[in-house]
Amino acid sequence: MDESHDFSKWEFHKFEINGRHILYDVNSAQFFSIDEATYNLLDYIKKYDKDDLSGIPAGKFPKEDILDTLEELEDYREKGLICIGKPELPDMPDGNETVKLAPLSKLTINVANDCNMRCKYCWNHYGTYTGSPKLMDENTAVKAVDFLFNRSEDSKNLEIDFYGGEPLLNFDILKFCTEYAFKRAETENKKITFSIQTNGTLLDDGIIEYLEGRNFGIFMSIDGDSMYHDSVRIEKDGTGTWSKVTSAARKILDNRRSKIQIRATLTPSNMNLSDTVQYLEKMGFEKVAAEYALELDTKKDNKKKVFFNSADRDRQRDELIRYAMTYLDKILAGSYSSWFDLEIADVYNNTPSSWAEIT
């Protein structure tokens, strides 16, 4: 048998959504929109090849359709779009070899284990960090930057992402770290870029000017309209933060000096993915990311409170489909220029995942 037509080892899934027939190739992680005839033929394709069609029920599929489908799938395979059989993997060390670590090009530096907000879905004790907040000092900052450069080897393009807590609570160390890294980059003929993940409440004109001057990428959290945002993203005294955050975000948008990306967190009180993303896009944000809140620690007994239960799975699925259908035609027509990223949770296990199984 021609191995190129041996589909017995092919791993794939097929499913229908809103009248569309979808094929998913496991090993290449590619999705394909297919016609109904191909969709139905896939039930038999793993058992038969072009030289043996006798097992397919007589009259169920014209021979020409079968051959055309096989040839089309083989064309996909030759182009690397699907992977039939197990993909080739590099040889692994036998245990006696020294594994050379890959050069480092990006480092996330947590400059503040502390936060000035008390978001209701925060995974870290509502932002209290169990009452023991910590801020990074200069000595640790130097070690972190040196670690990046010393491990970068021949990498010419490096990146530092400042994280927290709220990193702007330690703005002086953030500046120190940035300037120290910038000088090392100049000395070693490397290019370095910076980004920050912030709740946006501390972004005054001076901080914005500094971040823009060093061409920071700015990631901010806005959960949608003011009513929902202010119900979950609150200050220590319980006041909402929407006006303060959106005011800073609009200044960055108007200045057009730094790239800004918005992250929205969805909870059972707001699972309207499509409406939330479209709302943020209408505000002028071209890059939007969203995620479902997973869990949080309760103040009383430190037990996990699960936000989403199995009953929410259907709601999540319906919203994902609604969002996909809203934008698919625009994307295919080339008229949708925004960028969107979504992190999905397996709500049965309440663990983060890069995929969702929709059945």
74-105: per-residue pLDDT in tens? Answer: 888 888 888 877 666 666 666 666 667 788 99
List the structure tokens of 319: 């919203």
% of the chain beyond a pLDDT of 90: 40
Which amino acid is located at 287 in the chain? K
More confident residue, 357 or 16: 16
Asked if pLDDT for residue 289 goes beyond 60, the answer is: yes
pLDDT at 341: 61
pLDDT-wise least confident of 173-177, 224-228, 277-281: 277-281
Checking if the pLDDT of 123 tops 90, the result is: no
Whole-number mean pLDDT of the chain? 81
Indicate where the chain has its CATH 3.20.20.70 domain(s).
106-353
Q: How many CB atoms lie within 10 A of CB 332?
A: 10
User: CA 230 to CA 72: how far, in whole Å?
Assistant: 53
Buried/exposed 25-42: b ≥16 CB within 10 Å, e otherwise: beebeeebebeeebbebb
Span 38-60, average pLDDT: 69
337, 301, 304, 297: which is closest to 120 by C-alpha?
297
Q: Which of 61-65, 145-149, 160-164, 316-320 has the lowest mean pLDDT?
A: 61-65
- The Cα–Cα gap between 260 and 249 comes to 8
Q: What are 259-280's pLDDT values in tens digits? A: 899 999 988 888 888 889 889 9
**pLDDT band per the 50, 70, 90 thresholds, residue 239:** very high
Alpha-carbon span 232 to 66, nearest angstrom: 55
How high is the pLDDT of residue 348?
Answer: 39
Confidence tier at 258 by pLDDT (50, 70, 90)? confident
Q: Output the CA torsion 184→185→189→190 (10° steps).
A: 150
For residue 231, what pLDDT band results from cuts at 50, 70 and 90? very high
Which is higher by pLDDT, 306 or 170? 170
Query: Which of 249, 111, 234, 266 minimizes the C-alpha distance to 181?
Result: 111
Structure confidence at residue 297 (pLDDT)? 45
Matching CATH number, 106-353, of 3.40.50.620, 3.20.20.70, 3.40.47.10, 3.40.50.2000: 3.20.20.70
Q: Which residues contact 37 (CB under 8 A, 6 or more apart)?
A: 61, 65, 69
**What is the pLDDT at residue 64?**
79
